[in-house]
Structure 1
């Protein structure tokens, strides 16, 4: 099984960013759908995708795809999947999640139960046993129905990939690490440019940017379910992938990445998170109100996740807050600003209509990524730079 197909779910609307990441890792795209990108690779691709991809939510090993409109069909077609090629006799296996859209089979619990029975039946026949101890490595299965077509995968990641391992405590209205990384990649920012987040909270935007600047792979400080799949992935593949990631780190660099927040206790959390991520020396955090947003240099970037007014009593403060933000930003000559918010009056009180606006779902919350573009800086001799809103991605090879 030298060639396998992997599925990488992502935030809806950010598939192009993930596709570019996968291509930069050297893999062939097989399909791009709403909320996921599929690609071909070898078994080592499981290791490299989990360690290097910044915008994927998890990595699934695709094991089957079929049409089923009855539970009998679901049972037989699940049973036809060669589960023994993936799951050893002592493996722990279950259908961890089932989802269904526009399909006749729509009950997650029933789908999970039927598929588990079919898996047991298949493995009983192949391993010639009536009982499985299920005391070995975990093989959680996920299935997604779309218009009666089931796509079946085994989760190689375990905990979602947005859990980098550096953020134990979050501030108010945290943005996930994967979404933060994707939004940064939608801007022309690079490590040589100034970056400020005046509502930095737990520091996610800044930490993700610093990790990109230092070329630190996002999965280096955590473990993955598939690390225990000794029957399927040689341990050497994991060691080689980590060695590859470590060799690419370049954290002895100078950056101008700054984070402000009016809450001093949140700044302490952000500093701790940056320290855990290994990028504390690349970010300057400061307790500061947005009205004090200032910087002497030109052509910088503001990338931020300002308060949304999640609680009803907080919404009354939003007009003044966004107005102050807009007034402060106007003092930053030649800068660009990018903000994600669910506050629909953001442009009005910010005092400027966005040059670009992208709808993005942050979980179940509909948000907007407003882009207020400043002028391009003059090109320095010998400098190659992208200004098309498609930031470069570090090649993991």
Structure 2
């Protein structure tokens, strides 16, 4: 069966998610705010859940229609053949959101959609009561400017939950955003990579997964694995292919931080992710960081100075990074921060500057790019 699929993503990295889909061989891709749409079958649902590094979720788009009244919402939802995906005992969980729409009460919209879905199921299964003790189907009703989009989530827990990070630092960077930072930089394992503010190790670990071509969802489960319309053999086959795709490249990614406790977590995360032999973590303040390597990448997410009284300390850290750049003119630096005067502290205007969101916090990804000549 062919589906209209949506890979949702954080604002600012939709194009990276689209590039991932193209690299996986998908065509007719459409990029919008916060999502990338494409078409695929059951195997594609398994494949994109397992392989996408920067997407938040993979959704099945069931319908899109205009609704300015609860009756229009009910009838539009009822007209959909939900039974083609949801079995008789499927557990239906409804979530919702509404932006700039006449139907602004999300709880009412959720209730109406649930009633309409049940009515559509009655039409197929010829019964009035459903046990809902089977696999889970999370249906979302999203309304934007009176346009209703109805989707079913195939992922379950967000795709940033790779399964390797049970503990994180004080201000954790999402795995999906960390992967995006690495992909935007165009780093490859032939280039030495440092993260001098590595925290719980998310950037080095994600870079390790990218360097080894390890599918980020290889060792986790997805809600649609329990669905009867996607055969277990499909998931098994896609996982076998992902295992076979892991390369034999040898490299080491270096992460350092002044917090020894969080580095212990970083090492544990690398072990769980299967990249411990490709990462090296050490306790080291950025002021003491040094390297004789002629060519390298710095990809990092330093402190932002969001707390009162931290600004002076953060400015000093950024000045230290700027000195590091000055002393290594052939290195490339990629820095994510929300601090508005970063370039002033760094003492150089970035070659590229990309607006990204770390959670709800607006940040900029400052890119200082030098051509790589040798390892």
Q: TM bucket by the smaller chain? A: over 0.9
Q: CA RMSD in A?
A: 1.4
Unaligned segments of structure 2, at least 5 residues: none
- The 2-side partners of 1:30 and 1:148 are apart by 24
Equivalent residue number for residue 296 of structure 1 = 292
The Cα shift of 1:332 comes to: 2.0
1:90 corresponds to = 89
Question: Per-residue deviation at 1:130?
Answer: 1.4
In 1, distance between residues paired with 2:191 and 2:212?
14
**What residue is the counterpart of 2:239 in the other structure?**
242
For 2:325 and 2:288, the matched residues in 1 are separated by: 10
Where 1:28 maps in the other structure, the secondary structure is: coil
Contact 1:79/1:118 (<8 A) preserved: yes
Q: How far did residue 379 of structure 1 move? A: 7.2
State whether structure 2 residue 125 is matched by structure 1 residue 150: no
The answer to whether the 8 Å contact 1:93/1:138 transfers is yes
Structure 2 counterpart SS, 1:186: helix
Structure 2 counterparts to residues 110-259 of structure 1, below 5 A: 110-230=108-228, 232-250=229-247, 252-259=248-255
Residues of 2 paired with 1:207 and 1:74: CA distance?
44
**TM-score normalised to structure 1 length:** 0.92
**Are the aligned partners of 1:294 and 1:332 in contact in 2 as well (CA < 8 Å)?**
no
Aligned-pair CA distance for 1:11? 1.1
Secondary structure of the structure 2 residue equivalent to 1:370 = strand
Helix, strand or coil at the partner of 1:313: coil
Offset from partner CA, 1:266-291 (integer Å, 9 cap, x none): 11110000000000100111100101
CA distance in 2, matches of 1:187, 1:113: 45
Bigger mean CA offset, 220-229 vs 328-337: 328-337
Gaps of 5+ in 1: 381-397
* 1:36-75 to 2 correspondences below 5 Å: 36-75=35-74
Query: What is the CA-CA distance between 1:103 and the residue it aligns to?
Result: 1.8
Distance in 2 (alpha carbons) for counterparts of 1:133 and 1:320: 61
Tell whether the 8 Å contact from 1:29 to 1:37 is kept in structure 2 after alignment. no
Question: Displacement, 1:186?
Answer: 0.8
**Deviation at residue 142 of structure 1 after TM alignment:** 1.4
Aligned with residue 368 of structure 2, among 368, 372, 394: 372
1:36-69 CA distance string (max 9 Å, x none): 0010111110000000011110000111111111
Q: Deviation of residue 361 (structure 1)?
A: 1.5
Aligned equivalents of 2:87 and 2:281: distance in 1? 49
Shift of 1:339: 0.6
Aligned counterpart, 1:286: 282
Q: Deviation above 3 Å: which 4+ runs of structure 1?
A: none
The correspondence for 1:326, drawn from 322, 337, 357, is 322
Equivalents in 1 of 2:76, 2:186: separation in Å? Answer: 47
Q: Deviations over 1:81-121 (max 9, x none)?
A: 101111111110021x2122222212211111110111111
User: Is this contact kept in 2: 1:19–1:29, CA < 8 A?
Assistant: no
Give the Cα–Cα distance (whole angstroms) in 1 for the partners of residues 373 and 24 of structure 2. 31
Deviation at 1:30, TM superposition (A): 4.2
Which residue of 2 is the match for residue 6 of structure 1? 5
